[in-house]
């Protein structure tokens, strides 16, 4: 009898473990354009709720060199790129570099255009997300005229915007492919944890 109970509990634990580890690939995309010649696409892919976001950037029409690149708080283009508001900053931090502990969630640093004005690059970011409190879906994405000083400059705007200058092009980050978000729910995660704990206790009793 004990062996039957042990088998049932073990199978249940395996099911809970699989549920807890379940991840769905989420994908978002933004088409950037503006009054300048800049245009292109930016794709965001996240392979699970707590995973880094993979960013693929393809833009053309830029002047060669580095350009500030940020997620802004609003997905509003009614007044052009200025309508996207300030940098996305739910944690109320100062502006910084992508690798800094203190930064806006939307601080993605600089992208660098080659001699032909093209950016074709990929990178990952640990702070932005496609779900939860820090989701960038529905928000604005902006490429700037100048280099972002990453909050290290002496200009008064350094800690606010990186003194990256005007907004050359922008777009709204929209859903492209989003899977089952249930595992991303903190409440669901707590249920799974409690269920796993109860089953662990039962297992120890059955096997003792």
Q: In degrees rounded to 5, what are phi and psi of residue 77?
A: -115, 15
How many Å apart are CA 106 and CA 148, to the nearest integer? 13
Q: Show the tokens assigned to 38.
A: 């800049």
Q: In degrees rounded to 5, what are phi and psi of residue 84?
A: -75, -5
Q: Show the tokens assigned to 83.
A: 């309508």
Question: Residues 67, 103, 139, 167: which is the catalytic one?
Answer: 167
To the query of whether residue 144 is one of the catalytic residues in this protein, the response is yes
Question: Residues 103, 144, 148, 149: which is the catalytic one?
Answer: 144
Whether the Cβ atoms of residue 161 and residue 150 lie closer than 8 Å to each other: no
- What size, in residues, is the chain? 208
Question: Residues 87, 103, 139, 149: which is the catalytic one?
Answer: 87
Question: Residues 67, 104, 139, 149: which is the catalytic one?
Answer: 104
The CB density around residue 5, as the number of other CB atoms within 10 Å, is 14
To the query of whether residue 72 is one of the catalytic residues in this protein, the response is yes
To the query of whether residue 107 is one of the catalytic residues in this protein, the response is yes
Question: Residues 72, 103, 148, 149: which is the catalytic one?
Answer: 72
Question: Residues 67, 95, 103, 139: which is the catalytic one?
Answer: 95
Whether the Cβ atoms of residue 111 and residue 143 lie closer than 8 Å to each other: yes
To the query of whether residue 70 is one of the catalytic residues in this protein, the response is yes
To the query of whether residue 155 is one of the catalytic residues in this protein, the response is no
Whether the Cβ atoms of residue 112 and residue 66 lie closer than 8 Å to each other: yes
- Hey, is 140 helix, strand or coil? strand
To the query of whether residue 4 is one of the catalytic residues in this protein, the response is no
Question: Residues 67, 103, 107, 149: which is the catalytic one?
Answer: 107
Calculate the CA 82 to chain-centre distance: 22
Give the residue numbers annotated as catalytic, written as ranges.
70, 72, 87, 95, 104, 107, 144, 167
């Amino acid at each position: 009898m004990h062996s039957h109970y042990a088998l049932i509990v073990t199978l249940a634990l395996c099911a809970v473990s699989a549920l807890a580890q379940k991840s769905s690939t989420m994908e978002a995309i933004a088409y950037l354009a503006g009054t300048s010649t800049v245009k292109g696409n930016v794709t965001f892919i996240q392979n699970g709720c707590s995973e880094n976001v993979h960013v693929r950037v393809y833009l053309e029409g830029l002047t060669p060199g580095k350009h500030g690149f940020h997620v802004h708080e609003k997905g509003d283009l009614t007044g052009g790129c200025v309508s996207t508001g300030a940098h996305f900053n739910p944690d109320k931090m100062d502006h910084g570099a992508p690798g800094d502990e203190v930064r806006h969630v939307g601080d993605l640093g600089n992208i660098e255009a080659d001699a032909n004005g093209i950016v074709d690059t990929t990178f990952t970011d640990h702070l932005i997300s496609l779900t939860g409190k820090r989701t960038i879906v529905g928000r604005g994405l902006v490429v700037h005229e100048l280099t972002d000083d990453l909050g290290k400059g002496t200009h008064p705007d350094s800690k606010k915007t990186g003194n990256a200058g005007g907004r050359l092009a922008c777009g709204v980050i929209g859903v492209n492919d989003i899977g089952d978000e249930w595992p991303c729910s903190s409440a669901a995660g707590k249920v799974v944890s409690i269920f796993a704990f109860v089953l662990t206790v039962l297992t120890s009793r059955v096997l003792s």
